[in-house]
Amino acid sequence: MPSSITKPVTLRALKLAVITMFLVLVSCRKSDPPPVVLAQVDQTKLTLDDVRESFPPEYEKVLSREQYLDFIQRWIDDQVVYQQALKTKLDQDPKVARKLDRLLHKGLIEEFLARETANQEFEPDEGAMTRYYEMHKDEFRRKSPEFRYLHIRVNSLKDALALRSKIHGDNFATIATGNSLDSSGESASPPFRKTSEIPTCLLHDLNEAKPGWQSSPLSCPDGVYLVKLLERIDAGTPVPFGETKEAISAQLVMDQKDKMREAKIRQYREGVAVNVNLDQIPGQENNPEKTGDDTAPSGENTPHADSLHAP
C-alpha cells in the first residue's frame, strides 16, 4: 500500500520539476534583449551583432558611419543576388560546390589565425603613437571643413524675424536661451561640427561664410534657423595629434596583429615540406633586361621544380 502511494507522488514531482525548469529556461530566454536589426531582405535579417562579427573589434573605433552604411548596402545587394542564385539551384552544381569548399577552407584558416592571436594583448604607448603620427602627417588632414556656430531654431519666419531684430553685437547666445526650440543652440561654446553633422539646409550658407557671419532666417524641414558662425576649419587642415590618438591606436593594434599572424604562419611552416612544380605553373615569365642577346640567364641559382620548401 505505501509503495502504491509513493510512486504517483514521485511522478508528479518529476513532472513539476520538468515544467519548472522549462519555465525558467523560457523566462531566461525572454530576458535576453532582442537583436538589433539593421537591414532585412525578405526573411533574412542583418543584425548589429552580425556586422560586428564581420570586423575585428579594433575596427569599430576606426570605421566611419559612411563605411558602415556602405557595408550594409553591399550586404543587401549580395543578399538579393544570393537568394536569386538559390532559386536557380546553383549551389548544387559540382563546380560551384568545389568553389564553396575552397571558401570554407579559407574561412576556417582565417578564423583559426584570428583565435590564435586573440589572447595576445597589445596596447600602443604614447611614444609609438607620436612616431606614427609624425611619419603619416599627410594622412591626418581634414577631408571636409568643420564649423563651430550658434543657432536659434523657431517655428516660423515671423518668430525668426522678431528675434533677428533683437540680435546686436555678442548677445546671440543670450537671445537663443529660452527662445530656441532645441537647447543645443543655447551653448555659448559649441563644439566643432563635421559637415555630416550639420543640416543640409544650413551647410551651403556655412560653406560660403566667414567667422562672425550672422544669417538671415534659413528655412529647414524642422523649422526656421538663425545662425552665427564662430569659427571654421577648412578642408586640408592638419588634424591635431590629440584628435587622432584613438584611430592611431587602433591602426597600430591592427598592424601588430598582422605581424603576429605572419609569425604564426612561419611557426606552422617549420618542419613542413612544401614542394612547388615550377615547370607546370602557367603565366608569362618576366623577361630580364635585354643585353647583347635575347637569352635569359640560366645560372645555378635559378629555382627549379620541387626545389621550394619550408625552412
Is residue 102 within a helix (H) or strand (E), and if so which, with residue range? helix 94-118
pLDDT band at 116 (very low <50, low <70, confident <90, very high): confident
More confident residue, 206 or 182: 206
- Position 62 scores a pLDDT of 76
Higher pLDDT, 133 or 61: 133
Rg (CA), the chain: 32
Nearest in space to 243 (alpha carbons), one of 133, 120, 136, 135: 133
| 114 vs 80 pLDDT, higher one | 80
User: Which tens digit of pLDDT belongs to each residue from 250-267?
Assistant: 889 889 888 888 988 888
Q: Which range, of 126-130, 154-158, 287-291, averages the lowest pLDDT?
A: 287-291
User: DSSP 3-state assignment of 219?
Assistant: strand
For the chain, what percent of residues have pLDDT higher than 90?
A: 39
Q: Which of 63, 36, 39 lies closest to 49 in space, CA to CA?
A: 36
Share the mean pLDDT of the chain. 81
Is the pLDDT confidence value at 89 over 70? yes
pLDDT of residue 7: 44
Q: In the predicted model, is pLDDT for residue 151 greater than 80?
A: yes
Any idea which of 50-54, 66-70, 182-186 has the lowest mean pLDDT? 182-186
Residues 251 and 110: their CA atoms lie apart, in Å, by 19
CA distance linking residue 192 with residue 231, whole number of Å? 8
* Integer Cα distance of 141 and 127 in angstroms: 21
Reading phi first (left if > 0) and then psi (alpha if -120 to 50, else beta), residue 289 is in beta
pLDDT digits (tens, 9 = 90+) for 291-300: 445 444 444 4
Exposed e or buried b per residue across 282-310, where buried means at least 16 C-beta atoms within 10 angstroms of its C-beta: eeeeeeeeeeeeeeeeeeeeeeeeeeeee
* Angstrom distance (rounded) from CA 117 to CA 126: 23
- CB distance 201 to 219 below 8 Å: yes
Q: Quickly state the pLDDT bin for 73 (edges 50, 70, 90).
A: very high
Q: Which pLDDT score, from 0 to 100, does residue 129 have?
A: 94
Query: Facing residues of 238 across strands?
Result: 141
* Grid cell listed for 247: 584611430
